[in-house]
Amino acid sequence: MIVLGIESSCDETGVALVDTSGAGVPVLLSHALHSQIEMHQAYGGVVPELASRDHIRRVLPLIAEVMSQANCTLPQVDVVAYTRGPGLAGALLVGAGVACSLAASLAKPVMGVHHLEGHLLSPFLSADPPEFPFVALLVSGGHTQLMWVDRVGSYELLGESIDDAAGEAFDKSAKLMGLPYPGGPHLAKLAEQGDPAAFKLPRPLLHSGDLDFSFSGLKTAVLTQAKKLGDDLEARKADLAASTQAAIVEVLLKKSMSAMAQTGLKRLVVAGGVGANAELRRQLNAVCRQRGIRVHYPELHLCTDNGAMIALAAGMRLQAGLENLQMTYTFDVKPRWPLAEIIPNPGL
Ligand code: KG4
Ligand code: ZN
């Protein structure tokens, strides 16, 4: 089956085609992406209304682009998949509306995909794909979660952030330092020139004994430190960035290792935008090597939002027999949608 996937949950419009007909993981035939980063940069963050309007402008040309890249025509598409949530309501509605109208006009089924399931399965498109079961560390702009992943569609939440996500901690701290949106990659770049031990910043919930995270205190500590530095902030910015990154990475690393110890599993999958962080990858690789744990990441360009992961998740759910495909085109989006809610439907 040829699956067309459409992602429009936040500030990236992504479209992709996968083929599920082989024996293994769906094969990525083509994908195309438009990032709105430049457009939102002037405002220091995502402006939801502008995001929705830009998705409308981009989505059809991107669909045409993936079709031509794969040398495929619309009637050859068997299923149209879109991100149903979580995300910005208006932005999600664009993808959902386009997917449903396209599917209706082609008389093909349509399916809504969970954005985090897309992130979580995205390492299956890498050169070193994981095997089930594994622990997943999901670190995106809005979520920080540790999940036990048994197989496609079977996700048990082990722990999550009780306030800010790790991506938010990166972004908000970067904003305090006057770095452009999105802060994460800018802070990471600046941190390369700084001393990670320069400032003592808190590692919230590090010794809480559970697998939950908290990052809002860290952001407050960065603010306090920035105020204390006053005019010296500019000169010490790289040190503050490196110290902030060190605090976030240490918490993510230690909690992930606790999850590995508690579950006894030997495979870790890291997914979501923060999974692109080079320092996180470096430290995780070193610790996992010592402990005999295999760690898997998505390809760098598929860490942040994209259509490939949505087409892939749809394709893998279809292969696993988890979808009861229907030709109904009424849709609702789910701006808030816990991943653990998409457990296999016993009625199928
Ligand atoms: O998964 P994603 O693209 O969007 C959501 O689903 O939220 O993640 C975006 C997040 C942002 O917070 C961004 O700053 C962060 O990922 N990010 C990074 C890096 N690249 C992206 N954070 C730290 N280091 C990076 N290299
Ligand atoms: Zn995402």
Segment 224-263, tens digit of pLDDT: 999 999 999 999 999 999 999 999 999 999 999 999 999 9
pLDDT at 342: 82
Cα–Cα distance for residue pair 143/115, rounded to 1 Å: 11
- Is residue 20 within 8 Å of 59, Cβ to Cβ? no
Mean pLDDT of the chain: 96
Which amino acid, 4? L
pLDDT of residue 340: 78
Nearest CA to ligand 1 atom 24: 277
Atom of ligand 1 nearest to the CA of 168: 12
**Residue 348 confidence (pLDDT) above 70:** no
Average pLDDT over residues 316-328: 94
Could you write out the DSSP letters of every residue in 238-271? HHHHHHHHHHHHHHHHHHHHHHHHHH---EEEEE
Determine whether the shortest distance from the Cβ of 277 to ligand 1 is under 6 A.
yes
* Protein residue closest via CA to atom 10 of ligand 1: 141
Which amino acid appears at position 321 of this protein?
G
Q: Is 142's C-beta closer than 6 angstroms to any atom of ligand 1?
A: yes
Residue 45 DSSP SS3: coil
CA of 139 to the centre of ligand 1 (A): 8
The whole-number pLDDT of residue 164 equals 97
- Report pLDDT for 341: 83
CA-nearest of 187, 178, 113 to 152 is 113
- What pLDDT, in 10s, does the model give residues 71-116? 999 999 999 999 999 999 999 999 999 999 999 999 999 999 999 9
pLDDT per position as a tens digit, 107-166: 999 999 999 999 999 999 999 999 999 999 999 999 999 999 999 999 999 999 999 999
- pLDDT reading at 346 higher than 50: no
User: Per residue in 1-46, pLDDT tens?
Assistant: 999 999 999 999 999 999 999 999 999 999 999 999 999 999 999 9
**pLDDT at residue number 343:** 66
Q: What's the CA gap between 36 and 8, in Å, rounded?
A: 11
Pairing relation of β-strands 79-85 and 110-114?
parallel
Centroid of ligand 1 to alpha carbon of 60 (angstroms): 25
pTM of the complete model: 0.96
In angstroms, rounded to a whole number, what is the distance separating the alpha carbons of residues 289 and 99?
43
Asked if residue 140 has its Cβ within 6 Å of ligand 1, the reply is yes
Residue 211 has pLDDT above 60, yes or no: yes
Best mutation site among 33, 41, 116, 170 for ligand 1 pocket (most ligand atoms within 8 Å of CB): 170
**Cα distance between residue 261 and residue 71, in whole Å:** 47
pLDDT digits (tens, 9 = 90+) for 191-201: 999 999 999 99
User: Which numbered atom of ligand 1 lies nearest the CA of 305?
Assistant: 3
Ligand 1 centroid to Cα of residue 273, in Å, is: 3
* Ligand 1 atom nearest residue 271's Cα: 1
> CA dihedral in degrees (233, 239, 241, 244; nearest 10)?
-110
Residue nearest to atom 21 of ligand 1 (CA): 273
Q: Which ligand is nearest to the CA of 141?
A: 1
Nearest to 78, CA basis, from 343, 248, 314, 264: 314
Tally of CB atoms within 10 A around 283: 16
Structure token digits, residue 206: 């590090």
Query: Ligand 1, closest atom to CA 115?
Result: 6
Which residue has the least CA distance to atom 8 on ligand 1? 273
